[in-house]
Amino acid sequence: MRLESEQMWGYFEWLFQQFALLWGVGILAGLCLLGFIVCYVAATFLYGPVEGFYAVTRVIYELFARDLPSTTWRRTYAIARLAFQEAMRRKVLAVVAVFIVGLLFAGWFLDPNADYPARLYIESVLTGTSWMVLLLGLFLSCFSLPADIKNKTVQTIVTKPVRSTEIVLGRILGFSAVGTMLLAIMGVLSFFFVVRGVRHEHDVRAISADGKTGQTTLDANHTHTFEIGENGEGVTNEVKGHKHAVVDTGEKGEDGKPIYALEPPVGMLQAKVPVLASLRFTDREGNTGEGLNVGYESNYQKYIEGASLMSAIWTFDDVTESRFGKDGINLEYTLKAFRTFKGDIVTGVQGTVTLRNPNGKVESNRLRFIIKEFQVDQMSIPRELEGFVNSEPKKLDLYKDLVDENGKMEVIVRCEDRSQYLGMSQADLYIRKADRSFGWNMFKAYVGIWLQMVIIICFGVMYSTFLSGPVAMIATLTCLVFGFFGGIASEVASGKIPGGGPIESIIRMPTQTGAMTELDLGSDVLENVIKTIDYGIMSPLSVIGRVFPNFGSLNTSSFVAYGVDIFSSLLFRHITQAACYFVVTALIGYFFLKTRELAA
C-alpha cells in the first residue's frame, strides 16, 4: 500500500485548504441551478412558461414550508421498518449463509505460502464482505420502490398523510439498517476468521550448543531462527511479517539447560499509527530544491544522490514526550535504492539519518543504516544521543535539544554511497506511535464499507423514484463508474498522471514516445495547443467525476491489510462525503416522487 498525500490531509485542511468545502458548495449550487433549469424547461413544456414557473417554485416552496416541517419520525420509522421487513421477507439473511460458505471455502483458495498471510486473509474477507453488501444494497434499493408502484401498494401509502420526504428517507434508513445488520454479522465472522486464520504456534526444534541461537519447528509453512539474550529472553527473526517472543519456561531439560517456548505471533494483526511529516529536498549544492527523477514511470518517488549535499528533510510537528513516550521515538522507513553500478550487491546501499533542530544549531550524529528494499525498516532513536551544538560535540536530549519552541523537529536522510541513489516520498518515513488495536481498525474499515453501502442505497433509492428497477440499477452503477474515472480524469488534467490527455496520448502512440518524456513536436505552439485542448477535455470530465462518489478513494481496507491505523481524519472526510450524497440524493428523490403520478 502506498499512502497518497491526499489521504494524509487533516479534516480541516481538506475542508478549507484543499477546497473540499468550496467544491462541495460549488457542485451543490451547480446542481441546484441545473435542476431548476431542467425542471423549468420540462414544466414549460407541460404547462407553459408562467404556469411552469409557478409549478416548479411551488414544489420548492412545499418542501420547505410543508413537507419538511411535517415530516415525522413515527412515519419515517414506519416506512423504514416496512423496508426492513420487506428485505427480511426476501430472505436477505441468505447472504450471510453464502458468506459463511465463502469463508469455509476461502481456506482452500488462500495461498498458505503467501509472504503476508494476514494481508491475504484480511484483504479477501474485506473485499468479499464489501462486494456482497454493496450488491445487496444495490438490489434492495433499486427494486423496492418500482415494485411498490407496480403492485400499486404505493397507492395505499400515499393516500395516507405521508410526505414524499418520509418515503425517501424511510427507504434509505430501512435498507441501511438491513445492510448494517448484515455487515455487523459478517464483520464479526470475518474478524474471528482472520484471527484464527493467522494464529499458529511453533516449538523449539534445535538450539545451538551455547544456547544463544536456535531454530523453530516448521508450522504454518515457515520456520524462524531466534537469538536469546543475556536475560534469557529472546525474539525470532521476522518471517512473513511477524515475530515471536522466546521465553524461558523456567524448567530445565535433562541436560540441565533451560527449556524455551515461543509466544503467539506479533506484528501480524496490527494497527500501527504512522505520524507523517512534510518532505523537502536539498539539491547538490545543499540549497532547497527538488529531488531527482531517475526515469521510472512514476513521479511518486524522488531520488537523492549519494555522497553529495543532497538530502531529504522531513519536518515533524508536535514532537513531544507525551505524544511519543519518554524512551525516544521509533522511526520507520521504506526507501528505495537506485544503483548506477552494482558495487557490492550483498552489503546494500548505505544511508544515514540525522535529527536536527529546525533552528539549525543543534544536530545529532549521523545514524547509519543499510537499506532493506521492499521492506519496512525500523530505527529506534533513544532519548539521549550524541550530537553537536553549534558544531561542538555534546550529549543531547531528544525532546529538549532537537525540538524547537514550536514543537518541530527535522529528520534528514542522506545517501552515503557515491553514485548510488535513494528514492523516497513523503509517506515513506514516519514516526511510529504506540499501536492501536487491530479490532478497532477493522471496525473503522467496516465503517468505510458501510459508508459505501449507504451511498449506493441513496443513489439506488433516488433512481428508483423515477426509473424502473433494472434501469435504476444500471444508472447507479454508471455513477460509480463516472466517479471512478472522474478521479482518473482529474489526475490527468492536473498532470499527476503522466502522458497527457486524449490527443497527446494519441500522438504518443504512433510516435512511440514514453509517457515520461516531454512531448516534442518541434513546435511549442503546437504542443501548447494540444495541451490546452486536452485540458479543456479533461477538466470538465474531472468536474463531472467529482460529482459522483469515487469508490476507489472511499475504500480503506488496504489500511487494515497493511496494518496501518486508518486516519480518523480520513474517516471523517468520508463520513462528510457520504452525508453530502445522502442529502443530495434524498432531495432529488423527493422532487421526483413529488412530481410524478403514482397511479399512472
Partner 1 sequence: MSAVAPAASPTTATADSDIIIETRNLGKIYRDFWGRPKVQALESLDIEVRRGEIFGLLGPNGSGKSTTIKLIQGLLFPSSGRAFVFGKDARDVSKNERIGYLPEESYLYKFLNAEETLDFYGRLFDMPADVRKKRSEQLIQMVGLKGARRQQLREYSKGMTRRIGLAQALINEPDLLILDEPTSGLDPIGSREMKDLILRLRDEGKTILMCSHQLADVQDVCDRIAILHRGRLRELGRVNDLLKVREVTEVHAKGLSAETQAKISELIKSSGAELLSIDNPTTTMEELFLEIVRESEARPGMRTSASAQASK
Which parts of this chain interact with partner 1 (CB under 8 A)? Answer: 45-46, 66-67, 70, 72, 74-75, 77-78, 81-82, 85-86, 89, 151-163, 597-600
Burial 117-134 (b: 16+ CB within 10 A, else e): bbbbbbbbbbebbbebbb
- Least distance between partner 1 and beta carbon 585 (Å): 22
- Please write down the HEC assignment for all residues of 416-450: CCCCEEEEECHHHEEEEEEEECHHHHHHHHHHHHH
217 to 36, 173, 262, 377, 492: CA distances (angstroms):
71, 53, 10, 26, 52
Minimum distance of partner 1 from residue 72's CB (angstroms): 5
Compute the distance between CA of residue 223 and CA of residue 200 in angstroms, rounded to an integer. 11
- The amino acid sitting at 166 is E
Q: Which of 471, 311, 319 is nearest to 404 (CA)?
A: 319
Residue 206 or 599 with smaller CB distance to partner 1:
599
Q: Nearest distance from residue 176's CB to partner 1, in Å? A: 19
- Rounded CA-CA distance 377/372 in Å is 7
Smallest separation, CB 36 to partner 1 (Å): 20
Beta bridge partners of 227: 213, 235
| Nearest distance in Å: CB 45, partner 1 | 8
What is the nearest approach in angstroms of partner 1 to the Cβ of residue 71?
11
Least separation in angstroms between residue 467's CB and partner 1 is: 12
Residue ranges of alpha helices (H) inside 162-292 are 164-198
CB of 155 or CB of 249, closer to partner 1: 155
Q: Which residues pair with 424 in a beta bridge?
A: 302
Contact 506, 513 (CB under 8 A): no
Q: Which is nearer to partner 1, 89 or 326 (CB)?
A: 89
Least Å distance between CB 67 and partner 1?
Answer: 8
CA 265-270-275 angle, 5° bins:
140
Residue with Cβ nearer partner 1 (50 or 600): 600
Nearer to partner 1, 67 or 491 (CB): 67
Shortest Cβ 44–partner 1 spacing (Å)? 13
Nearer to partner 1, 383 or 594 (CB): 594
Residue 361, C-alpha cell as written in the block: 544549531
C-beta closer to partner 1: residue 12 or 45 = 45
Collapse the DSSP code of 255 into the 3-class scheme (helix H, G, I; strand E, B; otherwise coil) and give the result: coil
| C-alpha span between 144 and 233 (Å, rounded) | 62
Cβ closest to partner 1, residue 78 vs residue 114: 78
Min dist CB 170 to partner 1, Å, is: 10
Q: What does the DSSP 8-state code read for residue 219?
A: B
**Whose Cβ is closer to partner 1: residue 88's or residue 526's?**
88
Asked if residues 494 and 467 have their Cβ atoms less than 8 Å apart, the reply is: no
Which residue, 394 or 596, has its beta carbon nearer to partner 1? 596
What is the signed CA dihedral for 297, 423, 239, 432, rounded to 10 degrees?
-120
